[in-house]
Structure 1
Amino acid sequence: MIDLRRIVRRVTSWWLARRVERRMPELASLRKAEAEARRNHRPVKDIHLSRRAIVHRRLAEETPRGANRV
Structure 2
Amino acid sequence: MKQSDIFRDNADNCLQLAERAEGQPAHKRYSRMADAWTALAHEQDWLDGEIPPIAGRFPHQRDA
Q: TM-score, normalised by structure 2?
A: 0.49
Higher helix proportion, which one?
A: 1
Q: TM-score, normalised by structure 1?
A: 0.46
